[in-house]
Amino acid sequence: MAGGKTKKEKARPAGHTPYQGGISFHKSKGQHILKNPLLVDSIVQKSGIKSTDVILEIGPGTGNLTKKLLEVGKRVIAVEIDARMVLELQRRFQGTPHSNRLQVIQGDVLKTELPYFDICVANIPYQISSPLTFKLLKHQPAFRCAIIMFQREFAMRLVAQPGDKLYCRLTVNTQLLSRVSHLLKVGRNNFRPPPKVDSSVVRIEPRKPPFEVNQKEWDGFLRICFNRKNKTLGSIFRQKSVINLLEKNYKTLQALNLAPAQQGALEDTNDVMDFSDEDIEMDDDGVDDGMEVEDGNAEGEVSEFKKKVLSVLKKAGFEGERSSKLKLQQFLDLLSEFNKDGIHFS
């Protein structure tokens, strides 16, 4: 374990846990250090690292995982936000045979332009789980795989299958871009200080080639589908707010005489999918409560546009289906059916 002499305990602000090397851990930076060497070995072994691999590590901390990664890979590039940890890493590896194969970048990984890497192995601060997953999956050229420790519930959302309680928009968005599998359950006592939640290590492999989909369209479509994931799509697509939005898109695109796929080509769109945590939809109880306002005038007449939307749903056989049970391919098929009829989500 890295660290110098034991220092006398001083009064520390709340949220800081003493570390015997003199560094206190900041909860605000998600500093929960892996203290179980057997677990570190197991993560490295399950990563399938090759001796030719350039490894990206996010948040190396005091370097417990970094040390093992340097033993098996060609090079480690470690991105660390905390200057004290960067110093500790330099101190720990200076003068060792590994030192010229370790590159430490000091900075916020979310704001850092990532270099080429073959594989990412990381015990990350959980507060950046969503944007980091999104950033990695956007990275080009695509890496081989990422082995990442997440908070257990977040990990279970990533690997969920249709019908699972945690199946959500984040699941479908992640699985559109990658294959995700659960590798290891990790109890909180393997960390110092222990976090309040248990963790899991997950393997993420970018799909090569990726599914061909207009990402703005996909994002708009899924937001609607998962607005209430246990309602039938028929019920969701009858809502006035949904019909109004789709009709507005329809009229705008007709006026421009341009489909979003073509439009996207004209724009510089880097803001693809948004995996932010606040977007994880509320769980509902699976009962259609009929509270949403349906589209239609006072006489109950249904607009031509609404008929068009509902006929696509019906024709494709999705009217009675619920997002909580749909497979990725079914979402792709339904979006394609809507688009064929000129109904767009962006």
Ligand X SMILES: C[S@@+](CC[C@H](N)C(=O)[O-])C[C@H]1O[C@@H](n2cnc3c(N)ncnc32)[C@H](O)[C@@H]1O
Q: Measured between alpha carbons, how far is residue 23 from residues 61, 86, 108, 190 in Å?
A: 10, 12, 19, 19
Size of the site for ligand X (CB under 6 A): 23
Q: Decide if residue 343 touches ligand X (CB under 6 A).
A: no
Structure token digits, residue 246: 């789709």
Residues 221-260 that bind ligand X (CB under 6 A): none
Looking at the Cβ atoms of 60 and 73, the one nearer to ligand X is 60
- Tokens representing 30 are 């998600």
Q: Are 185 and 25 in contact (CB under 8 A)?
A: no
C-beta separation of 148 from 181 below 8 A: no
User: Considering only residues 33, 77, 159, 170, which one is a binding residue for ligand X as defined by CB under 6 A?
Assistant: 33
Q: Is residue 313 near ligand X by the rule CB under 6 A?
A: no
Judged by CB under 6 A, the stretch of 58-66, 225-233, 247-255, 323-331 that binds ligand X is 58-66
The least distance separating ligand X from the CB of residue 175, rounded to whole angstroms, comes to 25
Positions in 81-110 near ligand X (CB under 6 A): 81-82, 85, 108-110
Is residue 123 part of an annotated ligand binding site? yes
* Planar angle of CA 90, 93, 94, nearest 5 degrees: 70
Alpha helices in 48-192 (DSSP H): 64-72, 83-93, 129-138, 152-159, 169-177
For helices 215-225 and 328-340, give the axis angle rounded to 10 degrees. 110
Taking alpha carbons only, the member of 133, 123, 141 closest to residue 58 is 123
Q: Decide whether 201 or 316 has the Cβ nearer to ligand X.
A: 201
Q: Is 240 helix (H, G, I), strand (E, B) or coil?
A: helix
Annotated binding-site residue? 9: no
Query: Of residues 125-164, which lie at the interface with ligand X (CB under 6 A)?
Result: 125, 128
For the annotated binding site, the residues are 32, 34, 59, 80, 108, 123
For the annotated binding site for S-adenosyl-L-methionine, the residues are 32, 34, 59, 80, 108, 123
Binding footprint of ligand X on the chain (CB under 6 A)? 29-34, 58-61, 64-65, 79-82, 85, 108-110, 123, 125, 128
